Homo-oligomer: A and B are copies of this chain.
Amino acid sequence: MAGPKGSKYYDVFLKFKVWLENTEGESILGNGKFELIDYIDQLGSLKAAADKLGISYRKAWGMLKDAEEKLGFCLTEKHRGGQHGGNSVLTTEGKELIEAYKELLVEFDEAIYQITKKFFNKVNK
Protein backbone atom coordinates (compact mmCIF):
# COMPACT_ATOMS: atom_id res chain seq x y z
CA MET A 1 0.00 0.00 0.00
CA ALA A 2 1.29 3.43 -0.93
CA GLY A 3 0.45 6.92 0.10
CA PRO A 4 -1.31 9.46 -2.11
CA LYS A 5 0.40 10.72 -5.25
CA GLY A 6 2.85 13.50 -4.71
CA SER A 7 3.51 12.41 -1.19
CA LYS A 8 6.95 11.91 0.26
CA TYR A 9 6.04 8.28 0.80
CA TYR A 10 4.57 7.63 -2.58
CA ASP A 11 5.75 4.30 -3.93
CA VAL A 12 6.59 2.99 -0.49
CA PHE A 13 4.76 -0.14 0.59
CA LEU A 14 4.23 -1.65 3.95
CA LYS A 15 4.83 -5.39 3.84
CA PHE A 16 4.50 -8.17 6.35
CA LYS A 17 5.44 -11.76 6.83
CA VAL A 18 4.37 -14.48 9.25
CA TRP A 19 6.11 -17.73 10.06
CA LEU A 20 6.50 -20.38 12.71
CA GLU A 21 9.52 -20.46 14.96
CA ASN A 22 10.79 -22.86 17.58
CA THR A 23 12.11 -21.88 21.01
CA GLU A 24 15.63 -21.49 19.63
CA GLY A 25 14.38 -18.78 17.34
CA GLU A 26 14.90 -20.91 14.26
CA SER A 27 12.43 -20.46 11.47
CA ILE A 28 10.42 -23.63 10.96
CA LEU A 29 8.26 -22.69 8.05
CA GLY A 30 7.02 -19.56 6.39
CA ASN A 31 5.13 -18.71 3.26
CA GLY A 32 7.41 -20.54 0.82
CA LYS A 33 7.18 -23.82 2.62
CA PHE A 34 3.48 -23.49 3.23
CA GLU A 35 3.01 -22.96 -0.46
CA LEU A 36 5.08 -26.02 -1.23
CA ILE A 37 3.08 -28.16 1.17
CA ASP A 38 -0.13 -26.84 -0.24
CA TYR A 39 0.94 -27.85 -3.74
CA ILE A 40 1.97 -31.29 -2.56
CA ASP A 41 -1.56 -31.61 -1.24
CA GLN A 42 -3.06 -30.45 -4.51
CA LEU A 43 -0.78 -32.29 -6.90
CA GLY A 44 0.08 -35.46 -5.02
CA SER A 45 3.86 -35.31 -5.24
CA LEU A 46 6.84 -33.30 -4.15
CA LYS A 47 8.18 -33.37 -7.70
CA ALA A 48 5.01 -31.89 -9.14
CA ALA A 49 4.91 -29.25 -6.40
CA ALA A 50 8.52 -28.28 -7.10
CA ASP A 51 7.82 -27.99 -10.83
CA LYS A 52 4.76 -25.88 -10.16
CA LEU A 53 6.83 -23.51 -8.03
CA GLY A 54 9.64 -23.43 -10.58
CA ILE A 55 12.25 -24.69 -8.12
CA SER A 56 14.42 -27.77 -8.31
CA TYR A 57 13.28 -31.01 -6.76
CA ARG A 58 16.45 -30.93 -4.69
CA LYS A 59 15.55 -27.60 -3.23
CA ALA A 60 11.94 -28.52 -2.51
CA TRP A 61 13.03 -31.71 -0.85
CA GLY A 62 15.41 -29.75 1.35
CA MET A 63 12.68 -27.32 2.35
CA LEU A 64 10.31 -30.08 3.31
CA LYS A 65 12.93 -32.03 5.19
CA ASP A 66 13.98 -28.95 7.11
CA ALA A 67 10.42 -28.14 8.15
CA GLU A 68 9.68 -31.69 9.25
CA GLU A 69 12.90 -32.02 11.20
CA LYS A 70 12.33 -28.79 13.05
CA LEU A 71 8.70 -29.57 13.77
CA GLY A 72 9.59 -33.05 14.96
CA PHE A 73 6.82 -34.76 13.01
CA CYS A 74 6.01 -35.40 9.36
CA LEU A 75 3.78 -33.23 7.27
CA THR A 76 3.80 -35.75 4.43
CA GLU A 77 3.72 -39.47 3.93
CA LYS A 78 6.14 -40.45 1.20
CA HIS A 79 5.85 -43.45 -1.07
CA ARG A 80 8.53 -44.36 -3.49
CA GLY A 81 8.69 -46.94 -6.20
CA GLY A 82 5.97 -48.20 -8.49
CA GLN A 83 5.45 -47.48 -12.15
CA HIS A 84 4.85 -43.84 -11.49
CA GLY A 85 7.88 -43.53 -9.25
CA GLY A 86 5.99 -42.77 -6.09
CA ASN A 87 3.99 -40.00 -4.51
CA SER A 88 3.49 -37.89 -1.40
CA VAL A 89 0.35 -37.17 0.55
CA LEU A 90 -0.17 -34.91 3.52
CA THR A 91 -0.52 -36.37 6.96
CA THR A 92 -3.44 -35.29 9.12
CA GLU A 93 -1.09 -32.86 10.88
CA GLY A 94 0.06 -31.47 7.57
CA LYS A 95 -3.49 -30.89 6.43
CA GLU A 96 -4.42 -29.20 9.67
CA LEU A 97 -1.43 -26.95 9.53
CA ILE A 98 -1.93 -25.62 6.03
CA GLU A 99 -5.63 -25.20 6.60
CA ALA A 100 -4.98 -23.14 9.72
CA TYR A 101 -2.32 -21.15 7.89
CA LYS A 102 -4.67 -20.24 5.08
CA GLU A 103 -7.25 -18.96 7.48
CA LEU A 104 -4.55 -17.06 9.30
CA LEU A 105 -3.51 -15.30 6.12
CA VAL A 106 -7.03 -14.13 5.47
CA GLU A 107 -7.21 -12.60 8.92
CA PHE A 108 -3.79 -11.10 8.59
CA ASP A 109 -4.64 -9.50 5.29
CA GLU A 110 -7.63 -7.83 6.87
CA ALA A 111 -5.58 -6.63 9.84
CA ILE A 112 -2.77 -5.33 7.66
CA TYR A 113 -5.23 -3.47 5.51
CA GLN A 114 -6.63 -1.61 8.49
CA ILE A 115 -3.23 -0.95 10.00
CA THR A 116 -1.50 0.24 6.85
CA LYS A 117 -4.34 2.60 6.14
CA LYS A 118 -3.73 4.27 9.47
CA PHE A 119 0.04 4.19 8.96
CA PHE A 120 0.00 6.03 5.70
CA ASN A 121 -2.64 8.46 6.88
CA LYS A 122 -0.36 9.31 9.73
CA VAL A 123 2.87 9.45 7.78
CA ASN A 124 1.72 11.33 4.71
CA LYS A 125 1.22 15.02 4.65
Contacts and interface: CB of A to CB of B under 8 A. Distances in A.
Interface of A: 8, 11-23, 28, 71, 73, 93, 96-97, 99-101, 103-104, 107-108, 111-112, 114-115, 118-119, 122-123
A12 B11 CA distance: 35
A119 B93 contact: no
Please classify the interface of chain A as helix (H, G, I), strand (E, B), loop, or mixed, using the class held by over half of its residues. helix
A115 B119 contact: no
Nearest to A72: B8
A84 to B, nearest CB: 31
A104 B63 CA distance: 32
Nearest to A19: B15
Contacts of A101: 119
Nearest to A103: B122
B15 A16 contact: no
